[in-house]
């Protein structure tokens, strides 16, 4: 850990946040891939609804917006100044935490989905913690 701090210096927290967003995003993606291998869910997707929700263009657009959050946060965590960066990470992680938590109440969650959801929720909560504790002296800009 200290070597990581030594390598990135004042940029350490920015890099840490970007890596956390990459980690959680890979979990989101793989959970979705595993869901496509679940024949029950796949059949629901083919018929146009899943977990009682109709899959419409608007539904897919909302999904795209939700997925764009961690994608954008990888970049924004690296380029924003500390004051804005902290609040952007806190807000984005809070939105993603609530979104994943809410999905646990749509239909009956499978064991693999709960596994990924727990990892995702813990990671976004940790992002909130890191951003909240980000001290001025560690900041760049």
Taking the chain (141 residues) in runs of 10, the rounded mean pLDDT of each run is 66 94 97 90 79 83 96 97 96 98 89 97 98 73 39
- Structural domain count of the chain: 1
Length reported for the chain: 141
Domain-located, residue 98: yes
Domain-located, residue 101: yes
Given this model, what pLDDT does residue 141 score? 39
Domain-located, residue 140: no
Domain-located, residue 139: no
The domain of 99 spans 7-134
Exposure of 56 by Cβ count < 10 A (0-12 exposed, 13-18 middle, 19+ buried)? exposed
Domain-located, residue 120: yes
Domain-located, residue 1: no
Domain-located, residue 39: yes
């Amino acid at each position: 850990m200290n070597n990581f701090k030594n390598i990135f210096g004042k940029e350490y927290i920015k890099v840490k946040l970007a890596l956390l967003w990459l980690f959680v995003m890979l979990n989101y993606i793989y959970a979705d891939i595993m869901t496509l291998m679940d024949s029950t869910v796949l059949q629901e997707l083919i018929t146009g609804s899943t977990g009682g929700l109709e899959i419409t263009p608007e539904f897919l657009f909302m999904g795209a917006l939700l997925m764009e959050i961690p994608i954008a946060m990888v970049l924004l965590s690296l380029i924003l100044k500390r004051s804005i960066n902290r609040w952007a990470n806190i807000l984005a992680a809070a939105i993603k935490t609530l979104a994943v938590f809410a999905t646990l109440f749509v239909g009956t969650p499978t064991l693999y989905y709960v596994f990924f959801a727990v990892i995702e929720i813990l990671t976004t909560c940790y992002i909130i913690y890191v951003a909240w504790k980000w001290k001025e002296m560690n900041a760049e800009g």
